[in-house]
Amino acid sequence: MKRKQKPKLAVFKFASCDGCQLSLLDCEDELLLLADAVRIANFAEASRAVLRGPYDITLVEGSITTAHDAERIREIRARSRFLMTIGACATAGGVQALRNYRDVKEFTRIVYARPDYIDTLATSTPIADHVKVDFELRGCPIDKRQLLEVLAALLAGRGPKVASHSVCVQ
Protein backbone atom coordinates (compact mmCIF):
# COMPACT_ATOMS: atom_id res chain seq x y z
CA MET A 1 0.00 0.00 0.00
CA LYS A 2 1.30 3.45 -0.91
CA ARG A 3 2.30 5.49 2.16
CA LYS A 4 0.52 8.81 2.59
CA GLN A 5 2.88 11.73 2.00
CA LYS A 6 3.44 14.15 4.85
CA PRO A 7 2.13 17.68 4.28
CA LYS A 8 4.78 20.11 3.10
CA LEU A 9 5.49 23.06 5.40
CA ALA A 10 7.35 26.14 4.16
CA VAL A 11 8.46 29.22 6.10
CA PHE A 12 9.43 32.42 4.29
CA LYS A 13 10.87 35.68 5.56
CA PHE A 14 10.37 39.21 4.24
CA ALA A 15 11.32 42.49 6.03
CA SER A 16 11.45 41.47 9.69
CA CYS A 17 13.72 40.82 12.66
CA ASP A 18 13.31 36.98 12.57
CA GLY A 19 11.72 37.04 16.05
CA CYS A 20 8.55 35.25 14.97
CA GLN A 21 10.52 32.47 13.29
CA LEU A 22 12.52 32.19 16.51
CA SER A 23 9.23 31.71 18.39
CA LEU A 24 8.66 28.62 16.25
CA LEU A 25 12.21 27.38 16.83
CA ASP A 26 11.70 28.00 20.56
CA CYS A 27 8.99 25.31 20.64
CA GLU A 28 11.66 22.60 21.22
CA ASP A 29 9.79 19.32 22.02
CA GLU A 30 6.70 20.39 20.11
CA LEU A 31 8.88 21.29 17.15
CA LEU A 32 10.26 17.76 17.04
CA LEU A 33 6.71 16.38 16.94
CA LEU A 34 5.84 18.90 14.26
CA ALA A 35 8.93 17.99 12.23
CA ASP A 36 7.78 14.38 12.39
CA ALA A 37 4.29 15.27 11.18
CA VAL A 38 5.32 17.45 8.23
CA ARG A 39 7.97 17.59 5.57
CA ILE A 40 9.96 20.81 5.90
CA ALA A 41 10.07 22.13 2.36
CA ASN A 42 11.62 25.53 3.02
CA PHE A 43 12.75 27.08 6.30
CA ALA A 44 16.02 28.95 5.87
CA GLU A 45 16.49 29.46 9.64
CA ALA A 46 16.27 25.75 10.41
CA SER A 47 16.73 23.59 7.35
CA ARG A 48 18.73 23.32 4.15
CA ALA A 49 15.68 21.99 2.30
CA VAL A 50 14.68 24.14 -0.66
CA LEU A 51 11.69 22.57 -2.39
CA ARG A 52 9.70 24.63 -4.86
CA GLY A 53 6.28 23.41 -3.77
CA PRO A 54 3.38 23.25 -3.94
CA TYR A 55 3.28 23.73 -0.18
CA ASP A 56 0.39 22.56 2.01
CA ILE A 57 1.07 25.11 4.76
CA THR A 58 3.10 28.28 4.26
CA LEU A 59 4.07 30.61 7.10
CA VAL A 60 5.13 34.12 6.14
CA GLU A 61 7.02 36.50 8.43
CA GLY A 62 7.76 40.11 7.50
CA SER A 63 6.36 42.94 5.41
CA ILE A 64 6.70 43.97 1.78
CA THR A 65 9.28 46.73 1.32
CA THR A 66 10.75 46.15 -2.15
CA ALA A 67 9.40 45.50 -5.64
CA HIS A 68 11.18 42.13 -5.54
CA ASP A 69 9.34 41.26 -2.29
CA ALA A 70 6.02 42.05 -3.97
CA GLU A 71 6.85 39.71 -6.85
CA ARG A 72 8.19 36.99 -4.54
CA ILE A 73 5.07 36.87 -2.33
CA ARG A 74 2.87 36.44 -5.41
CA GLU A 75 5.01 33.48 -6.51
CA ILE A 76 4.86 31.98 -2.99
CA ARG A 77 1.07 32.43 -2.87
CA ALA A 78 0.71 30.63 -6.20
CA ARG A 79 2.59 27.65 -4.72
CA SER A 80 0.73 27.60 -1.35
CA ARG A 81 -2.54 25.86 -0.48
CA PHE A 82 -2.84 27.55 2.94
CA LEU A 83 -0.93 30.76 3.62
CA MET A 84 -0.68 32.13 7.14
CA THR A 85 1.01 35.39 8.12
CA ILE A 86 2.78 35.48 11.47
CA GLY A 87 3.55 38.61 13.48
CA ALA A 88 3.02 42.36 13.33
CA CYS A 89 5.40 42.87 10.40
CA ALA A 90 3.47 40.47 8.17
CA THR A 91 -0.02 41.38 9.39
CA ALA A 92 0.35 45.17 9.76
CA GLY A 93 3.63 46.32 8.15
CA GLY A 94 5.64 46.33 11.39
CA VAL A 95 7.69 49.13 12.91
CA GLN A 96 9.24 49.66 9.47
CA ALA A 97 5.83 51.00 8.36
CA LEU A 98 6.73 54.23 10.18
CA ARG A 99 8.35 55.14 6.87
CA ASN A 100 4.85 55.31 5.34
CA TYR A 101 4.40 58.72 6.95
CA ARG A 102 7.79 60.18 5.99
CA ASP A 103 10.04 60.63 2.99
CA VAL A 104 11.92 57.32 2.68
CA LYS A 105 14.52 58.93 0.40
CA GLU A 106 15.42 61.32 3.20
CA PHE A 107 15.97 58.33 5.55
CA THR A 108 18.24 56.50 3.10
CA ARG A 109 20.23 59.70 2.53
CA ILE A 110 20.81 60.06 6.29
CA VAL A 111 21.58 56.38 7.05
CA TYR A 112 23.57 55.08 4.08
CA ALA A 113 26.87 56.27 2.60
CA ARG A 114 25.63 55.20 -0.85
CA PRO A 115 21.84 55.66 -0.84
CA ASP A 116 21.82 55.12 -4.59
CA TYR A 117 22.52 51.42 -3.83
CA ILE A 118 19.30 51.14 -1.80
CA ASP A 119 16.35 49.77 -3.74
CA THR A 120 13.24 50.16 -1.59
CA LEU A 121 9.57 51.00 -1.87
CA ALA A 122 8.26 54.16 -0.19
CA THR A 123 6.06 52.00 2.06
CA SER A 124 6.12 48.87 4.18
CA THR A 125 2.85 46.97 3.74
CA PRO A 126 1.28 43.83 5.17
CA ILE A 127 1.19 40.64 3.13
CA ALA A 128 -2.62 40.81 2.85
CA ASP A 129 -2.25 44.02 0.80
CA HIS A 130 -0.61 41.92 -1.91
CA VAL A 131 -2.07 38.41 -1.85
CA LYS A 132 -4.93 36.45 -0.29
CA VAL A 133 -4.07 35.40 3.26
CA ASP A 134 -5.89 32.43 4.82
CA PHE A 135 -5.03 33.13 8.46
CA GLU A 136 -3.37 35.98 10.35
CA LEU A 137 -1.64 35.48 13.68
CA ARG A 138 -0.76 38.76 15.34
CA GLY A 139 1.75 39.63 18.03
CA CYS A 140 5.30 40.96 18.24
CA PRO A 141 6.51 38.34 18.50
CA ILE A 142 3.70 35.83 18.00
CA ASP A 143 2.66 33.56 20.86
CA LYS A 144 4.21 30.15 20.18
CA ARG A 145 1.30 28.30 21.83
CA GLN A 146 -1.13 29.98 19.45
CA LEU A 147 1.07 29.08 16.49
CA LEU A 148 1.28 25.44 17.58
CA GLU A 149 -2.50 25.32 18.08
CA VAL A 150 -3.15 26.59 14.55
CA LEU A 151 -0.62 24.15 13.05
CA ALA A 152 -2.04 21.23 15.07
CA ALA A 153 -5.57 22.14 13.94
CA LEU A 154 -4.53 22.33 10.29
CA LEU A 155 -2.80 18.95 10.48
CA ALA A 156 -5.83 17.40 12.22
CA GLY A 157 -8.27 18.93 9.72
CA ARG A 158 -10.18 20.86 12.40
CA GLY A 159 -10.76 24.54 13.07
CA PRO A 160 -8.15 26.27 15.28
CA LYS A 161 -9.09 27.45 18.76
CA VAL A 162 -7.39 30.73 17.95
CA ALA A 163 -9.12 33.47 15.98
CA SER A 164 -7.55 34.80 12.83
CA HIS A 165 -6.62 38.45 13.55
CA SER A 166 -5.90 37.26 17.10
CA VAL A 167 -5.30 40.06 19.53
CA CYS A 168 -1.73 40.65 20.71
CA VAL A 169 -1.10 38.65 23.87
CA GLN A 170 2.44 39.83 24.56
44-73: contacts with ligand SF4 (CB under 6 A): 61
Query: Cα–Cα distance between 28 and 10 in angstroms, integer?
Result: 18
- Of the candidates 131, 140, 161, which has an alpha carbon nearest to the alpha carbon of residue 23? 140
Cβ closer to ligand SF4: 14 or 55? 14
Cβ closer to ligand SF4: 8 or 144? 144
Query: Cα–Cα distance between 50 and 15 in angstroms, integer?
Result: 20
Cβ closer to ligand SF4: 134 or 143? 143
Binder of ligand SF4 out of 8, 60, 97, 141 (CB under 6 A): 141
Compute φ and ψ for 11, nearest 5 degrees: -125, 125
Residues in the chain: 170
Contact string 89-118 vs ligand SF4 (x = CB under 6 A):
x----x------------------------
Helix H or strand E segment including 90: helix 88-92
Is 20 a binding residue for ligand SF4 by CB under 6 A? The answer is: yes
Q: Which residues bind ligand SF4 (CB under 6 A)?
A: 16-17, 19-20, 61, 87-89, 94, 140-141
